[in-house]
Structure formats: C-alpha cells, structure tokens
Amino acid sequence: MSTNVKDYLLELCCSYTIISVLGSVVNIIFGGQTNNINVLLMFCFCAIIVFVLSLHKLFDAVSPLVMMIVQYLLAWGACALVVYILSVLVEPVTPRAWFEFWRSFTIPYIIGAGYYYYRVFADAKKQNDLIAELRQKENDDTQG
C-alpha cells in the first residue's frame, strides 16, 4: 500500500473518530438522536473532506488562500452531491436542512482556516526571531 493511501486512511480514521465522539457528546448534552443513515453520511463526509484536503500538494503553485477556497468549494460540492443523491433515494431534504448542512460544513471550515491563518503569521514571527538571532551570532563570529 502506498504511503499516500496509508496517510489518507490514517487521517480518515482519526477524523472520523474525533467527529463521532464529539457528535456523541453533543447528543448526550443536548439530547439529540442519530440513526444509521446519519452515521454512514458522517463517514462519507469525512472520507470526502479528508480526500479533498489531502490534495493540498497539487495547489503548491497558488496561494494558500486560493487553495482553501478551491478546496472548500470542491469538498462542499462533493458533500452536497451526496446529500442530493440521498434526498432522491431515501428522503427529500428540506430547504432548512440544506441551510443546516451548509452552516455545519462552513463554520468548522472557517474556524480551521482562521487557525491556519494565525499559524502562518505566528510561525513567521518565530522564524524572524530565529533569523535575527542567527544573524547576530554570525556577526559576532565574523567580528570576534
């Protein structure tokens, strides 16, 4: 099995575990219920989103912002297609459910993107400090 597939499966397992545990905690606290279709749908969404996010290496030539927007649209489009197929095959999806689907997809994505944005600036600051320290030491060595 190639490294990419192994990495993908590992990330999928971790993501699904975290999301299903969080979902169970939320259900216990707020008294919600789930069913078999929901569990399968959750796994399907995880598989799609992890796959789309794992394509980040294909976007090396573009900026991270463009990459995030394209990945968001791809992942949301693929998940929406699954929901649409389910609405045709199992049970029609109401407009309110579409809105809930969009909201529950977008909010975590924006939080994740915001964290990534913060990390880019925080890492740059740390690296700037390191470079300044290295330059100072280099100057001391040259002059000393």
Partner 1 sequence: MKLNLYETKNDMNEHVDVYYNNMRPVIRQLIDTVNSERPSLSGRPADEDLDDGDEVILDPRNIYYLDHVERKLFAYTKDGVYRVMNTLATCEEMLWNYGFVRVSKSNLVNIYKIVQLKPDLNMKVYASFDNGERICINRSYKKSFNDYLQKMRGMM
- In angstroms, give the least distance from the CB of 137 to partner 1: 5
Sort residue 79 into left (φ over 0), alpha (ψ -120 to 50) or beta: alpha
Select from 9, 18, 24, 56 the one that contacts partner 1 (CB under 8 A). Answer: 56
Q: Which residue has the tokens 């971790």?
A: 14
Dist CA 79 CA 41 (whole Å) = 9
Residue 84 as a binder of partner 1 (CB under 8 A): the answer is no
The smaller minimum CB distance to partner 1, of residues 84 and 118, is found at 118
The smaller minimum CB distance to partner 1, of residues 73 and 124, is found at 124
Residue 60 as a binder of partner 1 (CB under 8 A): the answer is yes
Tokens at residue 117, please?
Answer: 């944005």
Dist CA 138 CA 23 (whole Å) = 53
Select from 9, 92, 124, 143 the one that contacts partner 1 (CB under 8 A). Answer: 124
Give the long-range contacts of residues 97-104, CB within 8 A, separation 24 or more. 102/76
Binding residues vs partner 1 (CB under 8 A): 56-57, 60, 63-66, 116-117, 120-121, 123-124, 127-128, 130-131, 133-135, 137-138
